[in-house]
């Protein structure tokens, strides 16, 4: 479903497509911002865990902190967030909660990878588009419709962002033993969750999209442009409030199931590197 080159050339030029030079380096880089944050906050140099988690809803972080499992990492120098470190199933993780939306997620990802992260796992709450079963369940996102703005600063226009093919291959038949099913498929990444109109939803259905979320297409565009390792999961927890009793995520607001998924993902990646 790629847009043809001649179609792009004939499109009216939105500001988001103007003055983009994808082969040019940015003059504002995360290394410099983190350097100044360390100076201002008197934070010592050090590495965050090599495997990090983006938890847009914040449920995983909240559960870990409430149970005294996670502690604030002393080397994280972000101006906007706190990164917690914790151990689960024998693996050390870093985690940032409440990084909702494409631009915020990618800002955090940029900072994580210059701070010692080597693998980023995102697990975001999402709304069901095409039914696989009654929520909750997970989707390993193979591709995400680029209905947000951030990805266009990293990659030229196209319909979808994709997970790295080699990374995807690592996870064949990996999640079959988990209690909550994990499907593979496409999602729709939007900047405006309260503008999910009937027309937009029908278009997403026509593409075979399973769920709608707010980060994946930008994270995958960032990963490709920056040559970083990112894997995105959608935790399908709702039918967009269109039924009574919606948004039930499971034990500890879904964090228990999410942590099991994350641990399996991390172990498989560690075996591959």
* Structure confidence by residue, pLDDT tens digits, 208-247: 999 999 999 999 999 999 999 999 999 998 766 454 554 5
Which of 56, 46, 106, 95 has its CA nearest to residue 72?
Answer: 95
Q: Could you list the beta-strand ranges (E) of 4-118.
A: 51-55, 71-72, 83-88, 91-97
- Domain spans of the chain, in order of start: 46-272
Q: At residue 162, what are phi and psi to the nearest 5 degrees?
A: -125, 150
- Reported as type and span, the H/E element at residue 52 is strand 51-55
| CATH no. of 46-272 | 3.40.50.1580
The CA–CA distances, whole Å, from 132 to 11, 184, 269 equal 36, 11, 27
pLDDT at 167 over 50: yes
* Structure confidence by residue, pLDDT tens digits, 74-121: 999 999 999 999 999 999 999 999 999 999 999 999 999 999 999 999
Which of 221, 76, 208 has its CA nearest to residue 139?
Answer: 208
Question: Residue 246: is it exposed, middle or buried by C-beta count within 10 angstroms (0-12/13-18/19+)?
Answer: middle
């Amino acid at each position: 479903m790629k847009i043809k080159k001649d179609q792009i050339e004939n499109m009216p030029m939105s500001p988001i497509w103007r003055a983009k030079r994808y082969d040019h380096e940015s003059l504002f880089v995360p290394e410099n911002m983190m350097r100044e944050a360390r100076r201002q906050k008197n934070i010592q140099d050090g590495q965050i865990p090599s495997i990090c988690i983006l938890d847009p809803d914040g449920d995983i972080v909240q559960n870990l902190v409430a149970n005294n499992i996670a502690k604030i990492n002393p080397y994280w120098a972000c101006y906007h967030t706190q990164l917690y470190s914790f151990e689960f199933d024998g693996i050390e993780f870093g985690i940032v909660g409440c990084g909702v939306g494409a631009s915020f997620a990618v800002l955090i990802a940029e900072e994580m990878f210059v701070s010692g992260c080597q693998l980023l796992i995102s697990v975001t709450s999402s709304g069901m588009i095409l039914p696989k079963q009654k929520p909750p369940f997970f989707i390993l996102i193979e591709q995400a419709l680029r209905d947000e703005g951030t990805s266009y600063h990293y990659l030229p226009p196209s319909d979808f962002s994709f997970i790295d093919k080699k990374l995807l291959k690592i996870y064949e038949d990996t999640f079959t033993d988990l209690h909550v099913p994990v499907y593979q498929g496409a999602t729709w990444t939007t900047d405006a969750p309260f503008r999910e109109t009937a027309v937009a939803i029908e278009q997403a259905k026509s593409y075979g999209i399973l769920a709608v979320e707010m980060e994946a297409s930008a994270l995958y565009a960032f990963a490709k442009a920056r040559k970083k390792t990112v894997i995105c999961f959608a935790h399908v927890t709702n039918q967009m409030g269109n039924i009574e009793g919606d948004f039930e995520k499971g034990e500890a607001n879904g964090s228990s199931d999410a942590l099991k998924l994350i641990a399996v993902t991390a172990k498989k990646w560690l075996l591959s590197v």
